[in-house]
Amino acid sequence: MIIKQVSIFVENRRGRLAEITGIIADAGINIRALSIAETTNFGLLRIIVDNPHEAERILREKGIAASVTRVLAVNVPDVPGGLHRLLKLLSEHNLSVEYMYHALINREENTACMVLRVDNDTLAQQLLTENGYTGPSYIN
């Protein structure tokens, strides 16, 4: 359930996101989830890839600021209230969600994979596992 995410600072200029995804693609690395947040001068791109440390290395070689961080990938029941129950459980145990984004929906298992960063990922993983949550098998 704890996985690695690559965070990348992206200048706000036309074509820059395509350049970065091209570098990753040319390295044979598959992007499995992506989130981008924007400010005035730059964006923060967060990606889940099949080889995070190689992605970080290649991006840094190209002069692009990138770092690998730990996040949780959690299968959440794809039903009304499914996400609420997960967030309530974390909140009841004083775990703070720093950010979260959606990765994939698995129609066969009727789950949505949510990627989230919390203030204590080890404790969160233990808590979620004890309460029946799992991580997706298709993410690093």
Question: How do the pLDDT tens digits run along the chain, 140 residues long?
Answer: 999 999 999 998 899 999 999 999 999 999 999 999 987 788 999 999 999 999 999 999 999 999 999 999 999 999 999 999 999 999 999 999 999 998 877 777 788 999 999 999 999 999 999 999 999 876 65
The domains found in the chain, sorted by start residue, are 2-69 (3.30.2130.10), 71-130 (3.30.70.260)
Please indicate, yes or no, whether the overall pTM of this predicted structure exceeds 0.75.
Answer: yes
Write down the residue that tokens 């992206």 correspond to.
10
* 38-60 burial code (b ≥16 CB/10 A, e <16): eeeebbebbbbbebbeebbebbe
Report the C-alpha gap between 86 and 108 in whole angstroms: 20
